[in-house]
Structure 1
Amino acid sequence: MMKGSVMADKSPRQAMSKKSGKSLKEKRADKHAKSARRAASTEALFHDRKN
């Protein structure tokens, strides 16, 4: 028998050690590219209406 309180198991789990599919830099690059495409397409729409 053990005396005192039993310590919780703090070993890392497989899910925690697994990395996500994309790095943070890749996610940011995709986000910036997406917003740039959207801005370009809306700008083109506004220019078409003026002419």
Structure 2
Amino acid sequence: MGDKSPRSHMSTKAKSLKEKRADKHAKAAAKDHIEIIPPKGKR
């Protein structure tokens, strides 16, 4: 018999469409971003 406690479903809150879109845009922006690291000179 399955667990009928309401707590099991409360923990997995579904993301809203806005949140999904924000995550998608953030991931795409991070992928396109190239971090420029200056070359380390000999000291």
TM-score (norm 1): 0.36
- The structure in which a higher percent of residues are helix is 1
Larger Rg: 1
TM-score (norm 2): 0.39
